[in-house]
């Protein structure tokens, strides 16, 4: 990248090279014409003669060798201590026998200087990724929520009143503790990897036929917004391992990918979306009935896609990343 005070761009450097090498100008005349010093013009003319247009870009200022750099074996010990013990530079320095400043420099070079950059489970550097354009990959998952009783549950009215409301909404079925079963709401969610635009439906089960229906409608929903879905990432749930799901993906022309077992971090975008969904909609306010909560989902989804600023994409609403919508430029 050129610095702010650079006198010559790569195009102007190439022009100096052509004037001197191809047209026979003297270096002094070329330097005077482009308002640069003689050594500058000579440098770019020499590089043009050796490498042509490819030699006009900036070179790295990193030295060829760094004799005083921390040895690789010692760096490995520092990284190992960081991953296994999850401690700071001061404690690591007492373990490996080097100053804390050296430990910090190594951790920063390896991307481990902040514990927030380290995977909580494995201690390895967190691997973040983002697909280059909308539709390149969508994430799918199911969020299971307990149905709330009429009059709201314990989160808002307390455990005593919540228990009363639960029995007042009692059904014929009871669990092992003789408490009424209110059932569950299965929120089937779909989120685009690049834009974070989301689609969701609530159902009473998480069977394969239900998940397939959600996928089909989600693909059509994205298509209406100019997004063609190319691949889908899911966990290893039963509905996503079924032959019917596999055949549907083939019919839709979508490549199906599954996460590694017991690694929900791979599907982290939709897992994080579920937390936003729970805090912003499911448990955000008092709902008198489960029906009222379900009716509110569509409104909240519109707010999430069109109005809520998303910190991971530059504090803008997800819908702004669909650059093929009317009024946007490709």
Q: Kindly report, residue by residue over 37-55, the tens digit of the pLDDT.
A: 999 999 999 999 999 988 8
Assess whether pLDDT exceeds 90 at residue 154: no
Asked if domains 72-117 and 138-147+183-321 share a fold, the reply is no
Question: Which of 141, 134, 145, 113 is CA-nearest to residue 266?
Answer: 141
* Nearest-angstrom CA–CA distance, 150 and 79: 54
Is residue 3's pLDDT more than 70?
no
Q: Does domain 72-117 have CATH number 1.10.8?
A: no
The predicted model gives 286-312 an average pLDDT of 91
Q: Which of 42-51, 94-103, 224-233, 283-292 is the least confident region?
A: 283-292
> pTM for the complete prediction?
0.64
Domain ranges, ordered by start, for the chain:
10-56, 72-117, 138-147+183-321
The Cα 5–Cα 59 span in angstroms is: 16
Q: Which CATH number fits domain 138-147+183-321: 2.60.40.10, 3.30.420.10, 3.50.50.60, 2.130.10.10?
A: 3.30.420.10
**pLDDT tens digit string along 77-98?**
998 888 888 888 999 998 999 9
Bridge partners, 186 (sequence order): 144, 203
Chain length of the chain: 330
**pLDDT at position 123, please?**
61
- Side-by-side strand order, sheet with 255-258: 198-203, 184-192, 138-146, 231-234, 255-258
Q: Would you say 89 and 82 are in contact if contact means Cβ atoms under 8 Å apart?
A: no
Q: Reply yes or no on whether the pLDDT at 144 is more than 80.
A: yes
| Per-residue pLDDT, 330 | 40
CB 186 within 8 A of CB 194: no
């Amino acid at each position: 990248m050129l610095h702010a005070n650079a006198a010559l761009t790569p195009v102007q450097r190439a022009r100096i090279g052509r004037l001197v090498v191809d047209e026979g100008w003297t270096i002094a005349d070329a330097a005077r014409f482009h308002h640069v010093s003689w050594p500058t013009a000579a440098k770019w003319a020499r590089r043009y003669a050796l490498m042509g247009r490819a030699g006009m870009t900036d070179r790295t200022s990193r030295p060829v060798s760094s004799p005083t750099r921390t040895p690789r074996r010692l760096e490995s010990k520092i990284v190992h201590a960081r991953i296994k013990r999850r401690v700071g530079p001061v404690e690591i320095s007492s373990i490996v026998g080097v100053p804390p400043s050296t430990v910090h420099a190594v951790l920063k070079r390896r991307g481990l200087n902040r514990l927030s950059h380290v995977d909580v489970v494995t201690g390895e550097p967190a691997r973040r990724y983002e697909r280059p354009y909308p539709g390149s990959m969508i994430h799918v998952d199911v969020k299971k929520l307990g149905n709330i009783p009429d009059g709201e549950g314990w989160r808002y009215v307390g455990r005593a009143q919540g228990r009363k409301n639960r029995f007042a909404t009692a059904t014929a079925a009871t669990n092992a503790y003789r408490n009424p079963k209110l059932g569950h709401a299965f929120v089937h969610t779909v989120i685009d990897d690049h834009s974070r635009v989301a689609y969701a439906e609530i159902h009473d089960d998480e069977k394969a036929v239900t998940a397939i229906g959600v996928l089909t409608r989600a693909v059509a929903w994205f298509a209406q917004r100019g997004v063609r879905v190319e691949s889908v990432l899911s966990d290893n749930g039963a509905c996503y391992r079924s032959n019917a799901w596999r055949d549907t993906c083939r019919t839709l022309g979508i490549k199906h990918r599954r996460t590694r077992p017991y690694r929900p971090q791979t599907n982290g975008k939709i897992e994080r979306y579920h937390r936003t969904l729970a805090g912003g909609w499911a448990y955000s306010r008092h709902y008198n009935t489960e029906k009222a909560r379900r009716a509110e989902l569509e409104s909240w989804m519109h707010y999430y896609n069109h109005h809520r600023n998303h910190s991971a994409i530059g504090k803008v609403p997800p819908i702004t990343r669909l650059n093929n919508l009317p009024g946007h430029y490709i």
